[in-house]
Copies of this chain bind each other. A is one copy, B any other.
Amino acid sequence: MEMNGDQLSVYALGGLHEVGKNMYVIEYGQEIVVVDCGNKFPDETLLGIDLIIPDIHYLIENQERVKALIVTHGHEDHIGSIPFFLKKLNVPVYATRFTLGLIELKLTEHKILRETELIEIQADSVITFEEIKIEFFKVNHSIPDCLGIVFRTPEGTIVHTGDFKFDLTPVNQQHSDIHRMAEIGKEGVLLLLSESTNAERPGLTPSEQMVGHHLEKAFMDAQGKVFVSTFASNVSRVQQVVQAAILTNRKLALIGRSMVNVVGVAIERGYLAVPDEMLIDQKQINDFPPEKVAILCTGSQGEPMAALSRLSTGNFRGVDVLHGDTVILAAGPIPGNERSVTTIVDNLFALGANVIYGSGVTTGMHVSGHGYQEDLKLMLSFMRPKYFIPIHGEYRMLYKHQQLAESVGVQQGHTFILKNGDVVDIKNQEARQTRKVHAGHTYVDGMGVGDVGNLILRDRKQLSEDGMLVVVLTMSKSKKELISDPDTISRGFVYVKESEALMNEVNQRIKQSLSELREENKMEWKAIKQQIKKSVGEFLFSKTKRKPMIIPIIIEI
């Protein structure tokens, strides 16, 4: 069903009932504005998949109406799909200076930087299309230069918060503009879209400064080298590591590609202050006494190829974690990464390091960038929206956020818990959710975008659990008889060498199946293949309780 007339429509192509892959869309009349273009990483059931990006078929079909991609901030779940998006849609991209820096790194990697129209905005920028006018407001989050967005439409005002928390003592002057938020709310908000990541957590998010105090203490206590692993894009935290290093008179080395790249962007664009002569190359680390060196490294999520993982196993060339060194994990593990992170912690302890890990107040080395329940209620209270759509989160987070909204006065029935693709249409100030646009996951696997589907994933799953057995039958075309014994080749199932008896029995089953089919006069190749799959599969399951994929191949001579 297509939209008709000049109404206001809002929907997500990613980010609902999931964490990551954020993409929200505002339509009014002939204008479509897209907010964010993130990716997410596959869980362990999506075998072999590298990335998941939003399915943007709907936007491609309506490309003449798509006026802009506006990016709230530079995290992967908000910018990670931009290269794939731009290869399909030629649309200008609006973002702040720091966010653009990270987008440019990405476009350079994909070799499409030159043909892209990138437009820098600030918190006080205004973008004016025919019908939709766009303003911004500053929010605080765990990366610099984050914006919330205000859409002024003939139907009313929509606010999209981006990711945010309220940190009243932020690092590097990354203040939330609460005065502007109050003003927007006072003018009247028809619809609020607000992020839900921490809607399950009571209280107010602790300030980033808490981490700074703990970092300083750890640096002062440390005897040998100090390694700190964190997200490179968390420039406030990087700044606090710099301060702790200054305080304890240590040089600072950066290791890991994204640490070097992103810190480079932050320094160059003025978001990070590092004294001259403080930065040293990783090759110089061993030129200084250990108590004079700090090292910022990637890999806080346990990524096997990143610096911290390689350091923990002694496989980082030229840099060693030694007995007496301190290693600080200044980032919380993203759900699903816990095991990889704890393995690294184990290995670092085994090297004799003093490892400071674990999030929360216990170690104080990490605070979330996403608002807790009181932060979310404060945003809702500023905006006083008539309608509310909780965004960014799995169902239980959206659900809790709805409860929070009602607790601060949003009317029952005025909150929409949507799925990706569900459209809220607003006309004459009344919102209704009745229709859908196409939305979905697109899998990226190597160079392939969208070519791996459920059938291939189902095959990979079977192959991964029980392997496979290829059965080659060489048969005469004329008589439809076996010319020689069947050949069997297995991978991931059993060592055929060690299972000669089993394979002999498999051959017996095959011959038996063939003679049965011959008696029933069913010697078509398709029937033969089906019968062999069935009889060999059942036989192997009865003998091994495993279900390898059986692949019969018939060679006609």
Q: Chain A residues in contact with chain B, CB under 8 A?
A: 17, 43-44, 47-48, 200, 202, 335-336, 338-339, 342, 345-347, 349-350, 355, 358, 362, 394-396, 399, 445-448, 451, 455-457, 459-461, 463-468, 470, 472, 474, 483, 487, 489, 491-495, 498, 543-546, 549, 551, 553, 555, 557
Contacts and interface: CB of A to CB of B under 8 A. Distances in A.
5 contacts: A336-B338, A456-B495, A470-B551, A474-B557, A555-B555
Contact of A463 (B200, B338, B355, B467): B467
A48 B336 CA distance: 19
A456 B464 contact: no
A287 B295 CA distance: 66
Contact of A342 (B396, B463, B489, B544): B396
B448 A544 contact: yes
Nearest to A399: B349
Given A43-B339, A446-B544, A463-B468, A451 B48 contact: no
Counted per complex, copies of this chain come to: 2
A350 B200 CA distance: 16
A546 B463 contact: no
Nearest to A448: B544
Nearest to A452: B494
Given A336-B339, A543-B447, A395 B466 contact: no
A200 to B, nearest CB: 7
Contacts of A467: 48, 456, 459-460, 463
A426 to B, nearest CB: 25
Nearest to A202: B362
Contacts of A345: 396
Given A456-B494, A460-B463, 4 more contacts: A346-B395, A350-B395, A456-B492, A472-B472
Contacts of A468: 463, 468, 491
B349 A395 contact: yes
B466 A48 contact: yes
Nearest to A456: B492
A215 to B, nearest CB: 20
Q: Chain A interface mostly helix, strand, loop or mixed?
A: mixed
Nearest to A540: B446
A283 B14 CA distance: 41
Given A545-B447, A553-B470, A48 B464 contact: yes
A489 B459 CA distance: 13
A489 B551 contact: yes
Given A43-B339, A202-B362, A346-B395, A491 B474 contact: no
A548 to B, nearest CB: 10
B396 A474 contact: no
A447 B349 CA distance: 38
Contacts of A495: 451, 455-456
A254 to B, nearest CB: 27
A361 to B, nearest CB: 11
A47 B464 contact: yes
A21 B95 CA distance: 52
Contacts of A44: 44
A546 B494 contact: no
Nearest to A548: B48
A42 to B, nearest CB: 11
A474 B555 contact: yes
A536 to B, nearest CB: 16
Given A202-B362, A335-B338, A553-B489, A17 B346 contact: yes
A47 B447 contact: no
A493 B457 CA distance: 9
A334 B44 CA distance: 17
Nearest to A336: B339
Contacts of A350: 395
Given A355-B396, A396-B345, A492 B474 contact: no
A167 to B, nearest CB: 23
A534 to B, nearest CB: 17
Contacts of A336: 338-339
Interface centre among A202, A336, A395, A543 (most CB of B within 10 A): A395
Contacts of A546: 48, 445-448
Contacts of A543: 447
A551 B491 contact: yes
A467 B468 CA distance: 11
A448 B493 CA distance: 11
A492 B463 contact: yes
A386 B90 CA distance: 74
Nearest to A542: B447
Nearest to A541: B446
A352 to B, nearest CB: 10
Contacts of A549: 491
Contacts of A358: 200
Contacts of A492: 47-48, 456-457, 459-460, 463
B555 A472 contact: yes
Nearest to A345: B396
Contact of A470 (B338, B362, B459, B470): B470
